[in-house]
Amino acid sequence: MTEVFDCADPDQRSRGIAAAAGAVKNGRLVVMPTDTVYGIGADAFNSAAVAALLSAKGRGRDMPVGVLVGSWHTIEGLVYTMPEGARDLIRAFWPGALSLVVRQAPSLHWDLGDARGTVMLRMPLHPVAIEVLREVGPMAVSSANVSGSQPAVDPEDARRQLGDLVDVYLDAGIAEQQAASTIVDLTGPTPRILRPGPVSAERIAAVLDMDPGSLTG
């Protein structure tokens, strides 16, 4: 049975985070707030749960799921090598609305879709999301919407789209950014923005000491 928790109420927030953590650990799906949009999440290391997440969204394996982490240090075990510029971007924009695509550690036993040895990582700037992530570890998370629809910026929109396919909804009101994160690919010879978002090319370029145009060209 689907449960909804109002995170503005301290008691419901505490119970909701515990319920969400329990659901994820048992291979089920949750919807939680982030600073950008609401996300539908599952245990990143549970292949069946990730497959259920893709199915709930009506999304194919050709669009792999990103991973949210609860601290900077978590990524050390997830990345093959830290590419040039990655630590500078993390220091500048994490937690926040910047996702980084990097080469994953080959020892990882997860299946996020057809990611070809890469993984998209982000640490969100939202206390509820961080609490859940610190309870359960890295989570496979995608925007809480049916593929092809606009990402949900509030829990009601997420419920309209995903309904009972999700066990726990954590309601923290309207998402602050109301836009999906900026994605920067660090797997090639030079950094490249794959998706524009709240963190501008100019701000990224300033950190990397690059021309903003070279990030988007």
**Model confidence over 29-72: pLDDT tens digits?**
999 999 999 999 999 999 999 999 999 999 999 999 999 999 98
Q: Indicate if the pLDDT at residue 217 is higher than 80.
A: no
Amino acid 192: pLDDT: 97
* Position 91, amino acid: R
What proportion of the chain, given as a percentage, has pLDDT over 90? 92
Rg (CA), the chain: 16
Instruction: For residue range 110-166, list pLDDT tens digits in order.
Output: 999 999 999 999 999 999 999 999 999 999 999 999 999 999 999 999 999 999 999
At 6, phi and psi to the nearest 5? -85, 105
Domains in the chain: how many in total? Answer: 1
Bridging pattern class, strands 39-43 and 30-32: antiparallel
pLDDT in the model for residue 76: 84
Its domain, for residue 139, covers 3-215
Paired strand residues for 104:
79
**CATH code for the domain of 26:** 3.90.870.10
pLDDT at res. 27: 98
> Rounded distance, CA 139 to CA 120, Å?
11
Q: pLDDT confidence of 196, banded at 50, 70, 90?
A: very high
**pLDDT tens digits, 21-30:** 999 999 999 9
* pLDDT higher than threshold 90 for residue 183: yes
Would you mind telling me the total number of residues written for the chain in this entry?
A: 217
